[in-house]
Amino acid sequence: MSSEGKICTQCKKPNHFKRVCRSNENVNTIDEETESFREAVDDQETIFLYAIDKGRGKDEALVPLTLNNQLSVNFKIDTGAQANVLPKNIFDKLDLKPNLQSTNQRLTSYYGAKIPVIGTCDLTCSHKQCPRGAHRFYVVDSASTPIVGYRSSIDLNLIKLVLNVNAKQTSIDEKNKNLFEGNGRLEGECNIHLKDGSIPTVYPARRVPEALKDKLQDELNRMESLKKLCIDPVDLNKCIKHPYYPTPTLEDVTAKLHGAKEFSKMDARSGYWSLVLSATASEMPTFSTIYGRYRFLRMPFGLLSAQDEFQRRMEEAFEGLEGVAIIIDDILVYGANQEEHDERLQAVMERALEKGVKFNKDKCTFSASSVCYFGHVIGADGMKPDPEKLKAIEEMPRPQSREELLTLLGMLNYLAKYIPDLFTRNKSLREILKCEPFSWSPENDHTLVELKQSIVSGISFFNYKSLNVELKVDASSHGLGANLCSDGEVVVYASRALSKTEQKYSQLEKELYAIVYGCKHFHHYLYGRRVNGITDHRPLETIVRNPIHKAPPRVQRLILQLQPYDLHLQFRPGSEISIADALSRLHLPDINEKIATEIDVYVHQISRHLP
């Protein structure tokens, strides 16, 4: 029977029958109608799902997401969907299911089909190196493919909008082509200053077996052409006067970023090789080989003064420019909007051309909402861990030796500022370091899995504002906790354990000690500004307001250490400073014995004079 001229009862289009209609194939399997849903009230908000696909084809974009650190589910990336969708049969597999909240919103497919919604819930999602966060899901009464929508796909870094960025990058490359070619050469020559009475040390060339001589020659030529030759001049470094030029920390940079929305990051090409050595300085790092002596014309890697000198010269090169931060060879440009950012970026480009700075094109990022800077992702919303660091930890295999375990713990400690309870979670792993021989148990496997799952969560810190600064502190029987807030948003937090001596302090002394610890730890943020100190220990308010001579000696010494700060102490119940309270119980073992030692010495001096 011919279908020519016939009307399909499914899609109302001509020249085919319902049984071969392709309209059903093109709609996601979630596009199911129920009569009850057609009766939805008119004032309901409608959310559209635009995903269309022919079943589960090979081109379907599926990605595994871990829900609430419990269940791994393959989600379909739907950039046309305005919501995340989770079928009820998958929701029921969660061990700890959140309560579903009723909603008046309804889901509608591309073809207008109504999708039955049971309720909504917030679930934590994670995927390898992607940032972890809570996302709203619509639980539907349908055995369909789970969908992650447009907004969550961007937030989880599953998709990236790159068209405008690529256009901006191309424009910058074309306008400043000379800055990405060749090696940098900063103005002027660099000297190496030696200590008085320094005696030069000369070592003969090391003997090389005949079979390795040609390979040595090739390697010297290769390293010279790559300009990545690094030396270890132990004796020369002992004689060099250390210039001690301060290199900014990441906290120094982030303290300036409040209000910044657009960012660019540039990598200075050649690094230390941009510094030209003077004739005298060039002779000092000379080294011998069987093929003769090699003399550096540029600043080599490995010299004691190299980093300080390079940092100073880079800051001098870009001195006076607003919205620019420099840590060694990484340059960060930021602005409150696109126009301000572009003006500052162009000023940096012009200054770089003038001063002889070159950039590594492959390591530059221009005009982005966030950039990776010194192992952290910096953006308008604050700072997060670098996904590459998270990926390295997540994919790290089980340690097979004490050295490998130390490497793992070191990587975790690098991101400790994002994980307040890391010290508690990795305690069993640290105990292994005390055992001989190295022994790894199934319980340690479980701990390692939990650590990897927690480390990828990544807490973001908001950029610091100079107004409305609060220091919230708390002390437990074995630890101190502090977190710095600006306009009610967490900027950074810290914790530490108490030494055996400090654990014997009275609770009032511990609470006061927590304030001293918080002020000293966040000195860079607090000094010279009015700070509201928040504590859940009411007697402290009276103690710090009374004349200092009326306080016990130990309390006197602690109060004296707070004098440089414009601190205004306030009492709040512990329920209102829950973060600091938790940090004091889940502390890190970064014990600074200096304050405790000073107090102990003072007490011992008094004891010696007692009758």
Q: What tens digit of pLDDT does each residue of 451-468 get? A: 776 665 555 555 556 567
> Taking the domain 35-155, which CATH number applies?
2.40.70.10
At residue 367, the 3 state secondary structure works out as strand
Q: What is the pLDDT of residues 176-221, one digit of tens each?
A: 778 888 888 888 898 999 999 888 888 888 888 888 888 878 877 7
> Taking the domain 469-608, which CATH number applies?
3.30.420.10
pLDDT > 80? residue 67: yes
Q: What is the DSSP string of 288-305?
A: EETTEEE--SBPPBT-TT
Mean pLDDT of 256-285: 88
pLDDT > 90? residue 325: yes
Q: What is the DSSP string of 56-111?
A: S-TT--EEEEEETTTEEEEEEE-TT-SSEEEEHHHHTT-SSPPPPBP-S-EEEETT
Give the whole-angstrom CA distance, residue 571 versus residue 540: 8
Q: Extract the tokens encoding 374.
A: 């010194």
Strand partners of residue 265: 332, 365
Mean pLDDT of 337-341: 91
pLDDT > 60? residue 144: yes
- Going by pLDDT thresholds of 50, 70 and 90, the confidence category of residue 26 is very low
Q: What is the DSSP string of 113-132?
A: -EE-EEEEEEEEEEETTEEE
Range in 55-69, 218-232, 335-349, 370-384 the model is least confident about: 218-232
Mean pLDDT of 45-62: 52
- 571: which DSSP letter? E
What dihedral do alpha carbons 432, 434, 438, 439 form, nearest 10°?
-40
What is the amino acid identity at position 416?
Answer: A
What is the amino acid identity at position 405?
Answer: L
Mean pLDDT of 113-141: 81
The predicted pLDDT at position 536 comes to 84
User: pTM value?
Assistant: 0.56
Mean pLDDT of 535-540: 86
Give the whole-angstrom CA distance, residue 67 versus residue 88: 14
pLDDT > 90? residue 263: yes
The predicted pLDDT at position 30 comes to 39
- Going by pLDDT thresholds of 50, 70 and 90, the confidence category of residue 335 is very high
Q: What is the pLDDT of residues 432-444, one digit of tens each?
A: 887 778 888 888 8
Angle (CA) 420-429-422 rounded to 5° is: 5
8 Å CB contact between 66 and 125: yes
At residue 223, the 3 state secondary structure works out as helix
Q: What is the pLDDT of residues 553-590, one digit of tens each?
A: 899 999 899 988 888 888 887 655 544 554 555 454 44
- Distances from the Cα of 298 to the Cαs of 186, 271, 274, 306, 361, in angstroms? 11, 10, 7, 10, 22
Residue 29: name the closest of 105, 100, 87, 103 by CA: 87
- Distances from the Cα of 544 to the Cαs of 480, 533, 540, 572, in angstroms? 19, 12, 6, 16
Q: What is the pLDDT of residues 86-107, one digit of tens each?
A: 998 888 888 778 888 888 887 8
- Going by pLDDT thresholds of 50, 70 and 90, the confidence category of residue 250 is confident
Which residue is associated with the tokens 């989880």? 156
At residue 382, the 3 state secondary structure works out as strand
Average pLDDT over the chain, rounded to an integer? 77
Give the whole-angstrom CA distance, residue 173 versus residue 175: 6
Q: Extract the tokens encoding 298.
A: 């540029």
Q: Which CATH architecture has domain 179-375?
A: 2-Layer Sandwich (3.30)
The predicted pLDDT at position 44 comes to 46
Phi (first) and psi of residue 182, to 5 degrees? 80, -175
Domain ranges of the chain: 35-155, 179-375, 385-455, 469-608
- Going by pLDDT thresholds of 50, 70 and 90, the confidence category of residue 525 is confident
The predicted pLDDT at position 133 comes to 74
DSSP3 helix / strand / coil % (the chain, rounded to 5): 35, 25, 40
- Going by pLDDT thresholds of 50, 70 and 90, the confidence category of residue 1 is low
- Going by pLDDT thresholds of 50, 70 and 90, the confidence category of residue 292 is confident
Residue 518: name the closest of 504, 530, 531, 528 by CA: 531
The predicted pLDDT at position 39 comes to 38
The predicted pLDDT at position 344 comes to 94
**Percent of the chain beyond pLDDT 70?**
73
Walk across the sheet containing 530-535 and list its strands: 489-497, 479-486, 469-475, 530-535, 566-571
The predicted pLDDT at position 461 comes to 57
The predicted pLDDT at position 606 comes to 40
The predicted pLDDT at position 28 comes to 42
pLDDT higher for 414 or 252? 252
Mean pLDDT of 388-404: 76
Q: Extract the tokens encoding 491.
A: 């900027």
HEC per residue, 258-283: CCCCEEEEEEECCHHHHCEECHHHHH
The predicted pLDDT at position 607 comes to 42
Give the whole-angstrom CA distance, residue 576 versus residue 94: 31
Give the whole-angstrom CA distance, residue 256 versus residue 250: 10
